[in-house]
Amino acid sequence: MSATEIVFNDVSKFYGEVLGVNRVDLRIPPGITSLVGPNGSGKTTLMNLMAGLVHANNGTLTVRGISPRNPGELMKILGYATQYDAAPRGSTGFDFVLAGLLLHGYSKPDAERRAWAALERVSLTQAGNRKVAAYSKGMRQRVRLAQAIAHDPQVLILDEPLNGLDPLVRAETIALFREYAAGGRHVILSSHVLQEVDVFSDQVILIANGMIVAEGQIRNVREEMTEHPSQYLLQCRDAARVASLLFGETHVVEAKIDADGKTLLVMTKNRDAFSASLQQIALSGEEIESVLAADENVDALYEYLIGGRK
Amino acid sequence: MSVWAQIWTIARLELFRVFFSKRSFWVYGLALFPVVIFTGHAIDSKLRQQRWGEGSRITPAMMDSFREGVTEEEILEKAGTPQRDRKWTRRQRRNEDDEGPDRRRFMTFFDGKRQAQLNFSDGKLTSVRISPLLNFEEDRKIFAGVFQYFYLRLGIFFGCLGIFINLFRGEMLDRSLHYWFLAPVKREVLLLGKYLAGLIAAASIFTAGAALCFGALLFPHESGEVAAYLNSVGYEHLAWYMLAAALGCVGYGSVFLAAGLLLRNPIVPAVVLLLWEASNSFLPDMLQKLSVLHYLQSVCPVPAPIDSAAPALLRMLLSPAAPSSVWVAIAGLLGVTALVLFAASQAVRHLEINYGTE
C-alpha cells in the first residue's frame, strides 16, 4: 500500500461473462498519466475501479493508500469527471458544482466561493446560472471538470476530457492538467486524441482487450520495443549522400529519400549506434539540419502494440 | 462533517427533486383523490341543505308520526305541501287478482335535519323511510373505509412506489447516480439521506392529504356536532390518521427504496407486495407481522366497515388480521423498516454504476 501511488495488484473485473480488465498490475506515480486504447479496451473500467464506481472481482487496489470501498475517505482526495453526459435534472452549472461541494462538508458561503472559482477555472462563469441541460457538449465537459476540481483533489480522473472542447479551451484545459500534476498530484485521463496525449503526458498506459499492453514514459516504452526498428526523420542538404553513408552501417534496416531530395527517413535496429553513425557523418562534413524521432509518440506505440485493433 | 449533517445535506439536496419530479407527479393525484371525493360530497351536502332549507319544513314530531296505511289526503292535511311530490301510474299489476292500474305517489318532507320519504300506492301510505340528510356517524365510517381501503392499501402504497423507487432507479435511468457515489459519504449514509428526502416528501403529501380529507369530511356537518366530536375524540382521530399515513410512508418507503436498489422493474415488487399485503389475513401470525398493512390497520382509530353484501372472497381479503396494540404496531413497523433498510444498505454498498445495462 503506497500513500503516493495508485496501486493495482492483480485486479480483474468481469461484467457477468464479459471481461472488463484482466489481471492488472500497475503502479501509477503522480503526474499526468494517459490511458490509451481502443473502444471497449477497459479504460473506463480502470477509472471506475479507481473511483469505486465498480468493484474488482479479484485483486486489490489502493488510491494513495485508500481503498475504493471506502468512499467516505477516498472521495475527499479524488475528483472524477466521468464520460456520462448527464447532470441531475433541472440543475444549473453552479448548482451542480455547489451540490458536490456541500456534500464535501463545506459551509454554504465557502462552497459557493469554491463553486464560482472552479467555474472560472474552466471559463464557464458566464454560463454558471444556466441549466446544464441547455449546455453544449463542450460546456458539459467543462462543468464536469469544474465539479471534479472544485474540492481541490489529490487525484483527478478524467474520462475523455478533451472531447468537444474548442482549441482555446483545450489549451487552457491542458494547462490546468499540467498545473495540477506539477503540484505532485495524480492526473489520470483517457483520450483518443493521441497527438495531444503525447504532448502532455508524463506516462502512458496502453490497454487492449482488458489487458495492459505497455506502461511507462513514452520514450522508455518505445525503447523496449526492439522488434520494431526506430524511425528517424533527417533534414539534410544532400539526402542521397547521407543515405548512402548510412547504408554501410549494419544497424540500418531501411532508408527512404523524399521527393524533395532533402528529407530522409531512416529505420534502425540500434538507436545508440545510429546516433554514433550520425555524429560521424556530420563530422565528415555532411550538413544535417535536424534529426527527429518519427515514432517516439503514442500514435506509433499504439500502432505497434495494438495495431489493427485501433 | 457529522453523519447526521451529511444525511441532512443529502436530504436537502434531494428534496426539491423529489417534490417536483415529473416522473412521480401523479402521486399528488393519488393523495388528493379522496380529498376531491369528500370535498365534492361536502359541497353537494351543503347545497342540498341550503336548497331544502329554503322549502317548507315540518316539525320532527310530525315526521315521527307518519304511519303506514293513512291516506294521501290525511298526510297533506297534517303536514302541508311536501318538498318533493311525484305521481305515476303502474299499468301492470304485480298480483293478477288486483284490478286496474296502480296509482303511485312519492312525497318527501324535511324537518331541518332529516328527510322522510313516503311511498303511496292507490292513495295509501305503504312505506316510510326517515334518514338524516347528513349522517356524521356514517360519514366517519365511510372515511375510515376510504382511508384504509383506498388511502393505505392503494394511495400510499403506489405513492411510495412512485417516490421511493425513483430515488436510486430513477437516477440510474437518468445516468446521474454516480454524482452521489462520487461524494465523500458512505453509501449507507447516502441511502439514509435519500430515504429521509423521500420520507419527508411522501409523509408531507399523504399526511396533508389525510388532514384535508378529514377537513372535507367535517365541513358540511353542523358546527356544534363537529365541535363536540373534535373535543371528544376528533383531534385524536385526526392525529392517528395522520400518524398512520406517515407510518405507511415509513414502511412502504423502505420497501420500495430497497426494491429500487435490487430490481430493475418496479412492477414486480409492486405486484408481489400488493399480493402479500392483500393475503396477509390468511397468513400465520408470525408472517402477518412482516406486513406493513398489518401494523397500519392497528394504528387506525376507527375500524373500517366491511359490507356484509360483498362477495366472500373480497370480504376475506379486506378483513384485517388480528390487530396488535397501537404501540406494539408502531414498534413493529419501525422494526420491519429497520430490517428492510439494513438489507438495502447492504445492497447499496455493493451497487455498481453500470448504466449500459439499464
DSSP class per residue in chain A? --SSSEEEEEEEEEETTEEEEEEEEEEE-SEEEEEE--TTSSHHHHHHHHHTSS--SEEEEEETTB-TT-HHHHHHHEEEE-S----STT-BHHHHHHHHHHHTT--HHHHHHHHHHHHHHTT-STTTTSBGGGS-HHHHHHHHHHHHHTT--SEEEEESTTTT--HHHHHHHHHHHHHHHHTT-EEEEE-S-HHHHHHH-SEEEEEETTEEEEEE-HHHHHHH-TTS-EEEEEEES-HHHHHHHHHTSTTEEEEEE-TTSSEEEEEES-HHHHHHHHHHHHHTT--EEEEEESS-SHHHHHHHHTGGG-
The pLDDT score that the predictor gives to residue B358 is 45
| B21 CB within 8 Å of a chain A CB | yes
Q: Which residues pair with A263 in a beta bridge?
A: A235
Chain B residues closer than 8 Å to A54 by CB: 352-354
Q: Which residues pair with A66 in a beta bridge?
A: A63
CA B36 to chain A, closest CA, distance in angstroms equals 31
CB-CB under 8 Å, A89 with B17:
yes
Chain B residues closer than 8 Å to A71 by CB: 181-187
Nearest CA in chain A to B18: A89
How many whole angstroms separate alpha carbon A189 and alpha carbon A162?
A: 9
**Alpha helices, H only, B219-311:** 223-229, 235-262, 267-278, 285-288, 292-299
Domain with CATH 3.30.1450.10 in chain B: 56-132
Dihedral sign of CA atoms B166, B172, B175, B177 in order: positive
How many whole angstroms separate alpha carbon A34 and alpha carbon A46?
A: 12
Question: Could you report the per-residue pLDDT of B126-175, keeping only the tens digit for each?
Answer: 999 998 888 888 889 899 999 988 999 899 999 999 999 989 988 888 88
Chain B residues closer than 8 Å to A53 by CB: 178, 181-182, 352-353
The pLDDT score that the predictor gives to residue A230 is 82
Q: Which residues pair with A285 in a beta bridge?
A: none
CB B252 within 8 A of CB B335: no
Nearest CA in chain B to A97: B179
The pLDDT score that the predictor gives to residue B314 is 64
Chain A residues closer than 8 Å to B20 by CB: 90
- Enumerate residues 151 to 210 of chain B having a beta carbon within 8 A of any beta carbon in chain A: 171, 174-176, 178-179, 181-187, 189
Domain with CATH 3.40.50.300 in chain A: 6-222
Chain A residues closer than 8 Å to B5 by CB: 105
How many whole angstroms separate alpha carbon B321 and alpha carbon B332?
A: 14
The pLDDT score that the predictor gives to residue A133 is 87
The pLDDT score that the predictor gives to residue A310 is 42
Q: How many residues does chain A have?
A: 310
Q: How many CB pairs under 8 A join A and B?
A: 84
How many whole angstroms separate alpha carbon A163 and alpha carbon A160?
A: 6
Domain A229-294 has CATH 3.30.70.100: yes
Closest C-alpha to B17, from B234, B275, B193: B193
Question: Could you report the per-residue pLDDT of A269-303, keeping only the tens digit for each?
Answer: 887 888 888 888 888 888 888 887 777 666 677 77
Catalogue the long-range contacts made by B66-69 (C-beta closer than 8 Å, 24 or more residues apart): B66/B116, B66/B118, B66/B125, B66/B128, B66/B130, B67/B125, B67/B128, B68/B124, B68/B125, B68/B126, B68/B127, B68/B128, B69/B124, B69/B125
CB-CB under 8 Å, B10 with A75:
no
The pLDDT score that the predictor gives to residue A150 is 95
CB B66 within 8 A of CB B118: yes
- Look up the pTM and report it: 0.81
Best probe of the B interface among A17, A70, A77, A89, by most B CBs < 10 A, is A89
CB-CB under 8 Å, B6 with A102:
no
CA A182 to chain B, closest CA, distance in angstroms equals 24
What stretches of chain B adopt beta strand conformation (E)? 84-90, 102-110, 114-121, 124-132
How many whole angstroms separate alpha carbon B55 and alpha carbon A3?
A: 91
Structure letter (DSSP) for residue B126: E
Instruction: Assign a CATH topology to domain A6-222.
Output: Rossmann fold (3.40.50)
- Per CATH, the number for B56-132 is 3.30.1450.10
The pLDDT score that the predictor gives to residue A225 is 67
C-alpha cell at B250: 415509513
Question: Could you report the per-residue pLDDT of A175-231, keeping only the tens digit for each?
Answer: 999 999 998 999 999 976 666 677 788 888 988 889 998 888 776 766 666 677 888
Chain B residues closer than 8 Å to A147 by CB: 179
CB-CB under 8 Å, B187 with A103:
no
Residues of chain B with confidence (pLDDT) below 70? 92-100, 281, 308-324, 356-358
The pLDDT score that the predictor gives to residue A157 is 96
Residues of chain A with confidence (pLDDT) below 70? 1, 192-196, 219, 221-226, 296-299, 306-310
The pLDDT score that the predictor gives to residue B50 is 84
The pLDDT score that the predictor gives to residue B313 is 65
